[in-house]
A and B are shown apart, each in its own frame.
Chain A
Amino acid sequence: MGGQACILYGAAEFSRDLDLTVGIDAENIKTIKHALSELEAKLIFVPDLDIAALQRGHACHFRCNSSGAEGLRIDLMSKIRGCPDFPQLWERRAEISLPEIGEIGLLSLPDLIQAKKTQRDKDWPMIRRLLEADWLQSRSNPETAQVSFWLMECRTPALLVELTQKYPEEAGMLVAHRELLEVALRGDLQSLELSLRKEEDLEKEKDRLYWAPLRAELEKWRREKHWKKS
């Protein structure tokens, strides 16, 4: 679901870790624990690998120690802000076959883009690159749903103007869901950049609010861990 997924979808990224979205039924947690033990993975932060914590939206962080994977960081999450629960994410996944690995499931592109709408500045250029890559790959013969997806998510001002010029009817119908399409339809690049910034700031604020109670919980667990150690 992280940088590795961005690479596979065509955005240029250098990722040093592996972020996985996981189902959290008891059986799956058992399988995950087994896989982590094969990788000699050690928990490096709070919380412990725990169904309730994952259900609330926390991530569990590990570092591998097995030969060939030394130092590799693995982060596990099950719940992503703004995305449906795991069963639906799994249903919507993309499947891809990789050399020496075989078939893997990837978060669908719309879900990956939603997952990247975080409070971190560095995630936003990635959304832009993911959309551009998708457009480059499918622009010659896009499906209607894909055009709507580009119109709703694109963050490259000039491309957005181009899309609204090419698909004015679709853009007009979507204005009610994304106000800045009206600005794009006028071809006003300067105002469009400002509108995109406003959209980004709003999502960042939503993400900060979403994480505030979770972060407080992390602080509490962290203090308890220190207290137990000392």
Chain B
Amino acid sequence: MRNHENIFNKDVQSAPLSEPDDWALLSPEERYIESGKLWAVYLNLGGSLDPEPDSQSPFDFEENERAIPADGRSGVHFIRRGGI
């Protein structure tokens, strides 16, 4: 969860994996609790629970997937009004 691509598995000294093993090696209950914490932060920051638009989804219809950015705010806003 904390690093990115190509993490080397130290025990086996072989296959580069997509993510470090500390998350995978937590128990499901621990992952559930940690994921809940992430949810709380996300919602506190104003995160939306609407799915992001996904043109590859069979359910990609505008009524079903409202395009609201993750911060819940419009992506376009005035930096300065009036004048040049």
A binding-site residues for B, Cβ under 8 Å: 4, 7-12, 14-17, 44-45, 59, 61, 63, 71-73, 96-99, 119-122, 125, 128-129, 132-133, 136-137, 139, 156, 158-159, 161-162, 211, 214-215, 218, 222
Contacts and interface: CB of A to CB of B under 8 A. Distances in A.
Contact of B15 (A12, A44, A137, A158): A158
A11 B31 CA distance: 10
A215 B59 CA distance: 8
Contacts of B50: 16, 71, 73
**Residue among B15, B21, B42, B51 facing the most chain A CB atoms (10 A cut-off):** B15
B30 to A, nearest CB: 10
A167 to B, nearest CB: 14
A12 B19 contact: yes
Given A11-B24, A132-B18, A136-B25, A120 B54 contact: yes
B24 A133 contact: yes
Contacts of A222: 61, 63
Nearest to B43: A71
Given A14-B38, A45-B63, A97 B54 contact: no
Contacts of A119: 56, 58
10 contacts: A7-B35, A8-B28, A9-B28, A12-B23, A14-B42, A44-B63, A122-B56, A132-B18, A211-B58, A215-B58
Contact of A122 (B1, B19, B54): B54
Q: Which 6 A-B pairs have CB atoms at the shortest separation, nearest pair first? A: A159-B15, A133-B24, A10-B24, A211-B58, A71-B49, A45-B64
A214 B59 CA distance: 10
